[in-house]
Structure 1
Amino acid sequence: MHRSIFTCLLAGTALTTQTALAQDSIALDPIIVSGGLTPVAAAQYGRAASVVTADEIQSRSIQYVSDALRLVPGVSVTRTGSLGGTTAVRLRGHESNHTLVLIDGVKVASPDTGAYDFSGLLATDIERIEVIRGPQSALYGSQAMGGVISITTKRAEEPGISGRAGAEVGSDGTHQVDLALRGKGARGDISFSASRRHSGGFDVSGTPGGEEDSALHRSYTLNGRYFLTDNITVGGSLRHVDRITDNDNFNFAAPTTAGLVTDSIAASTAQETYGALYLDATAWGGRMSNRLTYSFADIDRQGVDGTGTKDADNTGTRRKIAYQGTIALDAATLASASHTLTFAAEFERLTYRENDPTIVFGVGQLAKREREQTAYILEYQGDFGNGLALQASLRHDDNDAFKDFTTYAIGASYTLPNNSTRLHASYGTGVQNPTLIEQFGFFSDFAGNPNLKPEQSEGWDIGIEQQFLDGRGVFDITYFDETLEDEIGSQFDVGLGKTVPINNTGRSDRRGIEATARYDVTDRLGLSLAYTWLDASEPVPVAIGGTRNAIEVRRPEHELSLGVDYTLPNDRTRLRLDVQRVAGLYDSNFKTASFLSGNPDDDFDRVRLSDYTLVNLGFTHDITDKVQLTGRISNLLNESYEELEGYATPGRTMYLGLSARF
């Protein structure tokens, strides 16, 4: 029934399409592409957002997107030891599967867990990273309760054929090669890139004489568009990633920290393919735009345990079809409109299955599980011309397995008459559906719970952005407060002899402060700052009944990043110094026998990890206008630290790279 309604909606829109989008658009002011169903001018955006550009990634000689995200306020990153280890990103204290991750507009989270592992995402071909913090379900639905990370890969910008080739070598047997080819003509453009990075790694268990845990990442990206006529554009994107990562054993109920992670030959592999096809057109002489999109994701994973025996083989898929139409409310064309209304509809199907009958614990685990959802969205964007701008959105999700939900959000921005002070604020609600793993189980010691309710949240923030010294400096400080209900946790069921996911009673509270600042001291010297204070807790069940509040783990209370940029008088050499301070970081205490006995009181013990400071130094040097030398030293002071208890982290490492544009 829902699919029939959806099909009729698409057909009706296609019949009204008369003219098309212009071939080229020029953004005169910075915009937040993923801030709404249509881009929003950054100076008018009411929600808290940060943007990391390709230039910033290059100046820091960053090779992994997750390392770029460490410098963004409101973001916490944890990695299981070595480069290539599972990497989780959390926004404002939420779980990693509460963060929607888009690459070129395509959802890339694993269908079974709802989370995206950033370990294999290299930064070489990344043009832009947008981080939208706070509940965004009113636009994006489930998985966007904590916010959105939208990543855009590079496209052809220059007419004709262009490209880039690069190589890097460094510590731990690291070597990388990458290549990009791009073409742009009068009727369209196309871009292709490929990269391969191998790290010999180190022993993440910290065992004396232990085996080094290596990682190999290969990624390929293709995107392009073609202007069929002056009125209609078609385009698409395709991305494939292969990953091979060595792992070590994690031992629940180990007596000491040193025993939590032990050396082994365990390894995991993954093949990820994402893509989208779209058609853009306009109607009514340019007053209305239309977009029809089909997107997909296929993720296959395999693994072997510490004895070399196969212990994982599964497949997850996502299929999504979406329509979006935007109409100018106060002008003859969208380009000249100050007020717009966007309406959208989408249908999504998720599937997951175990593939190998020799490694499952029951025939039922081989069944292909699936879930469907239809959504309808409205968004208003308005610029009132007096410094005030509003964004408001409403979304209804029709689920086939859970209660239907309606979420909403509003954001406001007001620039004072002095044109140097801007106030911004937002309020929104969020929803997170149980994952397929939580719903169906799939493991011998973990039972699914089909009666789970979706998690729900509401949150607000308010902030001020202030320019000073004639625009040479700017700071932005935001206070946020969010509440999460029906948070999904876990509890040991004595009758089943298994751990079962449950909806916790009580509320999970998150509040904090996000601050950023930038100051161009001179034309050559620049300073930057990002700071987050986070107070996050969750209710956890206790053996005698009821709940108690506990600190959320793997989200530091304080995180401070300081940056210094300096360009040498030769105008070809740029230096970048980054200092990161992390304090108040907790992890679950897995060193208790309760993990074997099933005592829920001890399941939620916390252990505080040591505070630490990391110093990174990078440089770029333009040998010619097209050839560049890059280098960096990570963890310059060779700090010993932990992001997760029991996992060793890299010491001082050094890298040197060379790239050429043509």
Structure 2
Amino acid sequence: MSNLSFRSQGACARLAASAAISACLISNALAQTEPADDDTELDPISVLGNRVEGPSAAIGSAVSSISGEELEQRQIRVVSDVLRELPGVAVNRTGPVGALTQLRIRGSEGNQTLVIVDGIRMNDPGTSAEFDFANLLNLEVERVDVLRGPQSALYGSDAIGGVINIVTRKGEPGPTRFRATLEGGSFGAATGTASVSGGTEAFDVLVAGQAFRISGVSTAKRFALAPTSSLDRDGYTSGTGLAKVSVRPTENLEFTGVARYAEFDADRDGFGAASDGYPFAASIDSRDTERGKQFFGRAQVKATLLDGAWDHVVGMSYTNQDRRSFDGTDLKTYASLGEMTRFDYQTNFRFQTEGLVPASHVLTFGADHTRDAVKSFTASPFPADAPNPLRKHIDNAGLVGQYQIGVFETLFVTASVRQDFNDRFDEATTYRLASAYTFDRTKTKIRTSWGTGVKNPTTFELFGFSGNFIPNGDLKPERGDGWDVGFDQPFWNGRILLDATYFQQRVRDLISSETVADPADPTGFVNRPINLAGTSKIQGVELGLTVKPIDGLTLRGAYTFTDGEDATGATLVRRPRHIASFNANYAFLEGRANVNLGIVRNGRQRDFAYDAATYARTSVPLKAYTLVNLAASYKIHPNAEVYGRVENLFDKKYEEVLTYNTPGRAAYGGLKVSF
């Protein structure tokens, strides 16, 4: 246990504290007799923080962002790799590239984080209702934002830990532009991308595609008990297509459409009693495979009235995620199809008030309806009355209201409320209060937020069967609340930016699992989900630092301390107490050359070990590790660039998930052209 206290203050106390800080900031703003100078206004950021466009000064929650240019400087190919460098984020991958990749924000579960790409909710209702980052490669990504803390008042279920918003590039006015890359390297890796984009004031369009393959390494780890055991490589191939189009028949009306399609074929290793005498169930070398097809689409129309003061957005999203598992004889052992259909509407009305206290106001109202549907099949021998294939769906409707006030362009207070109506669970009301104040002289921004969250059990947890898993139809929604307080401080005319945040989060009725007798085989054991009675507690500190000492050189560092335990007092697994990162990027020779050094430190953490006979689980430690990556590029022509990188420079051996292997040192190189 850390020196930080876990003494609960209660939701009312946390709300009161947040409101008190907001009141204090209001008094400071009222004491200011002159509005801020025009040059103090900060650039607008994405709509993620408050679901409405506005200056960064209006965001009271903790948000971290990274641009597409920075992804290219790091030569990021799997988007989850860059998320490791952001405060509050922990990433775990069950093996090499293409394996299940989970992401946790502030110690929350993977399915308590909502992932949005181009306005589409990506979480898969067919499995655990989380998004598997394994198949999201860096195809035309323009920006990645991470919003930390409970956000269900804005985004509904799945947002207890936070929200990740990813935006891809769109066509720009001007001549048609073509871009392509070709790359190869270690483990038989080869990838190619191509895109065509363009537009005018009346429309823009982008079409892009990517193909990727790698022979990889074995998912199963070679244990010390059997150092000469033979392990085969587990390869991975994928293909992704992306299309985006916007049409603006008038200056007040815009129609937008986006579609993403992906296919993948991945070699898998099994999980069970290790033949080499390992004391726990482990990843076992096998010829299993998994194949999948994914479609994500959205269409929306935006109308802007009253000279931009009043806007309306109506949208429809549809996702289809199809996964199928096969054994070494190509016999289908499991299949899941998750579909999400969503209709949403949002309107924002902006107005100003003058007088003694000039203020800006934004009123927001939203409504949405979502249907999550699942169809699954398993070859496992479960009770005769178990539905196989399983077909289920859950409907949820939500209403959102939000009010934001800005005083003197330095103080912003935002209050949000959401009401959810679910056809299976009780109605849920969630809240959020956030405030931010920027001091005019020092540009110090103080921010604080408090919010509540809800996470409904998934259709799979309620009804699904798979492997050694059976469902529990009596599960209740997980409910959480959390608060944070922090500051952002620029120095040296903006060349240095320091941010720090302290946070606490609580989750009640956390869904865990218990080992019970197998209903199909009384001599065997299976796991089923249960709600843990009591409250799981998480707290920590997030630090970020960006320094630009000279032109062309950017130094970026982050550190997160997380202390989390479940309702029984056990340390939460796969949440390192300490995570740190450092990145140095230097562009020189008038921008033609670039060198990037990245370091990620993942501290000691715990993971579950399952008894090979009963599958009863215990918690065991995983060692800390440090990864170093080096990348460089050089423009040999204004339209051509050569590049190369080395990942895991010092060939570190490490585990992100118990008994699952990870790649060693690897080198890659390629060519990028554009015209």
Normalised TM-score (structure 2): 0.88
Distance of 2:607 and 2:380 partners within structure 1: 35
Alignment of 1:431-470 (within 5 A): 431-443=454-466, 445-470=468-493
- 1:29-50 CA distance string (max 9 Å, x none): 1413211221232232110011
Secondary structure at 1:138's aligned position in 2? Answer: helix
- Counting only pairs closer than 5 Å after superposition, residues 570-649 of structure 1 correspond to structure 2 as 571-591=591-611, 593-595=613-615, 602-603=616-617, 605-649=618-662
Aligned to 2:316: 294
Instruction: Tell me if 1:270 matches 2:298.
Output: no
* Partner Cα distance (2:534, 2:281) in 1: 34
Question: Which residue of the partner structure matches residue 270 of structure 2?
Answer: 249
Deviates more, 1:248-257 or 1:348-357: 248-257
- Taking the aligned partners of 1:277 and 1:183, their CA distance within structure 2 comes to 20
Structure 2 counterpart SS, 1:275:
strand
Instruction: Report the CA distance between 1:249 and its aligned residue.
Output: 1.2
Residue type of the alignment partner of 1:141: G
- Deviation string, structure 1 residues 443-476 (Cα, Å, up to 9, x no partner): 3743322221100000000111111122211110
Q: 1:487 to 1:550 in 2, by over 3 A?
A: same
What corresponds to 1:89 in structure 2?
Answer: 103
Q: Return the offset for 1:80.
A: 1.1
1:19 aligns to what?
Answer: none
Distance 2:195 2:674 in 1: 9
Assess if the C-alpha contact under 8 Å between 1:62 and 1:68 holds in 2.
yes
Write out aligned runs for 1:521-536 (5 A).
Answer: 521-536=549-564
What secondary structure is seen at the aligned counterpart in 1 of 2:187?
coil
**Deviation by residue 1:102-160 (Cα, 9 ceiling, x = unmatched):** 11010111113111100010113111111001001000000011100011111112413
Report the Cα offset of residue 204 of structure 1: 2.0
Describe how 1:475-624 pairs up with structure 2 within 5 A: 475-494=498-517, 496=519, 498-539=526-567, 548-569=568-589, 571-591=591-611, 593-595=613-615, 602-603=616-617, 605-624=618-637
1:119-198 alignment runs, 5 A limit: 119-198=134-213
Corresponding letter in the other structure for 1:244? D
* Count of aligned positions: 618
* Aligned mates of 1:337, 1:290 — CA distance in 2: 23
Match of 2:664 among 647, 651, 655: 651
2:73 aligned residue (59, 82, 85): 59
Counterparts of 1:359 and 1:452, CA distance in 2: 23
Consecutive unaligned residues in structure 2, runs of 5 or more: 1-40, 223-228
Name which of 314, 339, 344 aligns with 2:336. Answer: 314
Q: 1:367 to 1:172 in 2, by over 3 A?
A: closer
| Equivalent of residue 232 in structure 1, options 253, 259, 265 | 253
CA RMSD of aligned residues (A): 2.2
Alpha-carbon separation, structure 1, partners of 2:221 and 2:389? 37
CA contact (8 A) 1:247 1:265 kept: yes
Deviations for 1:241-262, whole angstroms, at most 9, x for unmatched residues?
1111111111158752697122
Q: 1:337 to 1:190 in 2, by over 3 A?
A: farther
Q: What displacement does 1:620 show?
A: 1.9
Residue 72, structure 1, aligned to residue 122, structure 2: no
> Mean alpha-carbon deviation: is it higher for 493-502 or for 294-303?
493-502
Q: Are the equivalent residues in 1 in contact too, given 2:280–2:611 (CA < 8 A)? A: no
Q: Is the 8 A contact 2:377 2:388 kept in 1?
A: no
Report SS of the residue matched to 2:286: coil
**SS of the residue aligned with 1:131?**
strand
SS in 2 for 1:116: coil
Moved over 4 A (4+): 252-255, 355-363, 494-498
Q: Does 1:408 align with 2:422?
A: no
Q: Distance in 2 between matches of 1:360 and 1:658?
A: 52
Contact 2:42 2:55 in 1 (8 A): no
How far is the alpha carbon of 1:525 from its aligned partner?
2.7
8 Å contact from structure 1 (residues 290, 326) kept in 2: yes
Q: Measure, in 2, the Cα distance between the counterparts of 1:287 and 1:412.
A: 22
CA 1:261–1:355: 2 relative to 1, 3 Å: closer
Question: What are structure 1's unaligned runs of at least 5 residues?
Answer: 1-26, 540-547, 596-601
Alpha carbons 1:74, 1:92 under 8 Å: kept: yes
Contact 1:37 1:379 in 2 (8 A): no
Aligned amino acid, residue 347 of structure 2: G
The 5 Å alignment of 1:99-110 reads 99-110=113-124
- The question of 1:472 aligning with 2:492 is answered no
Contact 2:498 2:546 in 1 (8 A): yes
Indicate conservation of the 8 Å contact 1:312/1:359, yes or no. no
1:257–1:580 CA distance, 2 compared to 1 (3 A): farther
| CA displacement at 1:170 relative to structure 2 | 0.8
Q: Which residue does the alignment assign to 2:373?
A: 351
